[in-house]
Structure formats: structure tokens, C-alpha cells
Amino acid sequence: MEQSPVPFAKNLKDDLHCFQAALKMVLGVLDPKTRYSYRALDAVTGFKKGNVTWDTQALLWLANQGFEVAKVTPFDYVAFAHRGATYLRDFWRADVFAFQDAHSDLRREKALAKGLLKNRRITLESRRPTLRDMEDCIKKGWLAIVNVDVALLDKKKRYSPHSIVVTKLAPRFVEFHDPGLPPEPSRRVPRALFAKALHQAELVLLRWPLPRG
């Protein structure tokens, strides 16, 4: 059965709801009968005014709703759950750590990471994602959210964490819904540029469990 087109949702004016928008788009395919407001998605994701949103709480919620959840990321959740901010200082560039430390609740995220590791419904692969990963998974019915430093796609220097939803992979380009700001549905970038950004990004994969047999 062919997958439904991914509906577009845009970031809010505070420019802090790109992940909520990405989740809204994916749920528009996976759960089209339910209307998810941004207020509801804020509760699902644990949004706090002025902070960026990590995906951890949302992934736990999605798994508990019965969705199949997988994540391919160079981030080591085991190390983070044990070492907390000390691991983050080693893993991230200094500017990335400074940004996340100022705009995240790192203690809370450490506690959520422990829950993520214990959840048997969530598959975590600690490695760098590739376009081949994404192509293979999309063919198998997964929807792909990419948590990326969008500065790499915009060819800018300042670190800018962002979430997008991949809609098409072609021989020369990758197409995705970019919630903004500014919002840009069906944005396209050269395949090589996207592959470079993906190498430093996180690939979040969601689908309904396939029937057995």
C-alpha cells in the first residue's frame, strides 16, 4: 500500500516549535483521524518556553502509543545516562554545548535518557546515519524526521538545531518539509549536501508495527 503524502506544518512564531511541527506532520500520516494541536504536542514533547525541544520524551510517548520507534544517532545515550553533562562536553563542540546548556534542561534529559534505554519498544543505533539508511527505511514504510544542524544546509556558520521531515529521495536531490522559520514545504537540496549534514545529524524513524506472518 502506497504511503499517504506528508502534510505540511509550520513552526510557530517563537521559532522553537520545529520538532513539534515535524511530529505533527508525521502523525498526520500515521494517525490522520486525530488532530494534534500545538498545545497537545507541547505536552507530549515536554516543551518549556525559551528552551529547545529534545525528542526523548516524545519518543517514549510514541512507543507507549504503540508506534514502532527507531533512532540512528552518533549520540551515545548510555554514556549520557551515566556521565551527564561531562559526556556532552566531550561529545559536542564548545559552541554547541554552550547553546544546549543555556536552552535545555540537561538533568531532566539525563533522566529521560535512562528511560529511553530501558524501553524495549525503541530501537537505538549508536552510529552516524547515512542516506542508504534512510532510503532502505522509507522503502519499508518508515517516516523520517531528521534532527539536523540546519546551518549545514543553509551554508551558514552558526549552530542551529532544527527538525525536518524527509518527503522524497531522488538521484540528485533530497526533498523535505522544512517547518522554518521561514517555513518551506517540499524544500530541495543537493543530495551530496544533505548527506554531509546527515552525517552529523540524528535520524528518527516512525511507523505502525507491520503485521506478523
pLDDT in tens, 87-114: 999 999 999 999 999 999 999 999 999 9
Amino acid at 91: F
The fourth-level CATH superfamily of domain 18-207 is Cysteine proteinases (3.90.70.10)
pLDDT in tens, 23-62: 999 999 999 999 999 999 999 999 999 999 999 999 999 9
Region of residue 197 (left: phi > 0; alpha: psi -120 to 50; beta: else): alpha
Q: Which three cell numbers stand for residue 141?
A: 514504510
Percent over 90 (pLDDT), the chain: 91
Q: Which pLDDT band holds residue 213 (cuts at 50, 70, 90)?
A: very low
Instruction: Report the pLDDT value the prediction gives residue 118, as an integer from 0 to 100.
Output: 95
Alpha-carbon distance of 189 to 45, in angstroms, equals 28
Q: Where are the domains of the chain?
A: 18-207
Instruction: Report the pLDDT value the prediction gives residue 210, as an integer from 0 to 100.
Output: 59
pLDDT in tens, 158-173: 889 999 999 999 999 9
The torsion of the CA quartet 24, 33, 121, 80, rounded to 10 degrees, works out to 20
**Which residue's C-alpha cell is 506544518?**
9
